[in-house]
Amino acid sequence: MALTRLTLTHYRNHADSRLDGARQFNLLVGENGAGKTNVLEALSLLAPGRGLRRAALTDIPGHGGDGGFAVSAELDSEVQLGTGVRADRPGRRVVQVNGADAPALRLGEWLSLGWLTPAMDRLFAEGAGARRRFLDRLVLALEPAHARNASRLEGALRERNRLLGEAVEPDPTWLDALEGQLAEAGALVAQARARLVARLSEALAVLPEAPFARPLLAYQPGGPLDPDALAAALRENRRRDRAAQRTLAGPHRDELSVIMAGKDQPAAECSTGEQKAMLIAITLAHAGLLDPDRPGLLLLDEVAAHLDPVRRAALFDRLRRGTAQVWLTGTELPPFEAIAGEAAVWRVSDGAVERLG
């Protein structure tokens, strides 16, 4: 099963765009600002979460509409996925599977999504939170239940921090129960992240050093991975956490360490080109882990244009051998000459799409 049709309604600058007949390679070409990345962002909303831009729902509806927007995708004429916002309920996301309302977490059961965008070039220079979100997205593509566990962790952590910040000392019995929930969800989240890093490391270990720099990954947990041990740590740290008015240990403090193998140098200290190459290597290795029985989408925004011909050819070859459906953007066709004959190609102009091949 694969995505065959995508429809955007009042989505940013796309008033009514329909892309039929998607293939393994799908190219969106057009000038900067034409709306190519908007299509990729719409696709990214077919997974739980806030999409590749992490935009607020209120920022997405296009001008001239009723204040709502819709994204609809068809999988081999058998499954219809939809998400958006209704005009009468602004800011509240609606998800449908085959016309029936469903929680956003259900989207992960139907599609595995991954993406690489220019904004991610700063991943190794940003704070640990950005790398945790990156890890969670990679985990979610392999383990749909991760979204529910992460949501439970976030809710329990938010409530514990609220109680720690109150003037009156919280009831220990209530904290025991809350910390038990936090530890249960947190351990599942941490264990899933650890599994993902281990699997990625195995996949990366067999890759050559060229043409993409090979990264060495290490998962650095922010607390115990065992639920009982994590609950005990939370209980023992209450006095310290109350002084700080926040929880200082747990999976919300996890870190992903990345080192360039060829130089034994931290990714943050590598050149921007080397960092980009390592991100591509991680993205390709992750795509190779996707479950072939669950449709996978790989969204690559302005990636090919920044690669030399050797690396572009290597990228296309790796993608061709994978199981994921690939969506790429670019300002012109020549960088994609090697795959143009086998790709579905659309020209995007001012929020309108035209099928070229």
Residue 101 neighbours by CB under 8 Å, 6+ apart: 94, 95
333 and 193 housed in the same domain: no
Q: Is the pLDDT of residue 65 over 90?
A: no
Cis omega (within 30 of 0) for bond into 208: no
What pLDDT score does 213 carry?
Answer: 87
Answer yes or no: is 261 within a domain. Answer: yes
DSSP state at residue 61: B
222 and 334 housed in the same domain: no
- CATH assignment of the domain containing 172: 1.20.1050.90
Q: Is the pLDDT of residue 64 over 90?
A: no
91 and 134 housed in the same domain: no
**Residue range 241-259: average pLDDT?**
96
Answer yes or no: is 117 within a domain. Answer: no
d(CA 354, CA 357) in angstroms, rounded, equals 9
Last residue of a domain, one of 272, 291, 310: 291
3-state secondary structure of 10: strand
Residue 259 neighbours by CB under 8 Å, 6+ apart: 215, 216, 218, 265, 266, 267
194 and 82 housed in the same domain: no
What pLDDT score does 192 carry?
Answer: 98
Instruction: Give the structural domain span for 82.
Output: 1-111+294-357
**Residue range 18-42: average pLDDT?**
97
147 and 134 housed in the same domain: yes
3-state secondary structure of 295: coil
What pLDDT score does 306 carry?
Answer: 81
Overall domain count for the chain: 2
- CATH assignment of the domain containing 22: 3.40.50.300
Per the listing, tokens 């004959």 go with 341
User: pTM, whole model, 2 decimals?
Assistant: 0.93
196 and 318 housed in the same domain: no
Comparing 291 with 34, which gets the higher pLDDT?
Answer: 34
Answer yes or no: is 119 within a domain. Answer: no
CA dihedral 177, 181, 184, 186 (to 10 degrees): -130
354 and 320 housed in the same domain: yes
What pLDDT score does 357 carry?
Answer: 84
Among 285, 317, 297, 300, which residue's Cα sits nearest to residue 27?
300
205 and 274 housed in the same domain: yes
105 and 141 housed in the same domain: no
Q: First-to-last CA distance in the chain?
A: 22
Confidence of residue 234 (pLDDT cuts 50, 70, 90): very high
236 and 302 housed in the same domain: no
243 and 321 housed in the same domain: no
d(CA 50, CA 57) in angstroms, rounded, equals 8
